[in-house]
Amino acid sequence: MRRIRRQNTAPELAVRRMLHRMGYRFRLHAKELPGSPDVVFRPRKAVIFVHGCFWHGHHCRWGRPVRANAEYWAAKIDRNQRRDADSMAALYAKGWQALIVWECELKNADTLSCKLQNFLESVSTEPKIDG
């Protein structure tokens, strides 16, 4: 398990390449933000997390629980999900918008591209004026 990397994973690199081809420029791994998002768009106050289905407990084919040492893995994945929820709540409280891209979503590049485009277009770069 030590070989599993936290940053610059294959799914994360694929999402970054896709965003770059779409013409978006971004920053990486903002440690000062809750959850240390994988991709950060500061002017838009938007972040993208790229989650592995197994590690974050996604309900898909790759997110199924393992049978060996099931209690340990269930507790670990539950902690990860709680930490993710806390990070998302803290980001929203600070006025940031967040999107989660699941590893399994990389299988359909067209759908993922639309999802990313819709998210980034919905987040305005203009400052909000209360009035």
pLDDT band, residue 131 (cuts 50/70/90): very low
| Non-local CB neighbours of 18 within 8 Å, separated by 6+ positions | 109, 112, 113, 116
Alpha helices in the chain (DSSP H): 10-21, 70-93, 109-122
Cα–Cα dist 108/125, whole Å:
28
Q: What is the pLDDT of residues 77-119, one digit of tens each?
A: 999 999 999 999 999 999 999 999 999 999 999 999 999 999 9
Residue 101 contacts residue 53 (beta carbons within 8 Å): no
The pTM is what?
Answer: 0.87
- Going along the chain from its start, the domains and CATH numbers come out as 10-121 (3.40.960.10)
Distance of CA 37 to the CA centre of its chain: 7
Residue 30 contacts residue 106 (beta carbons within 8 Å): no
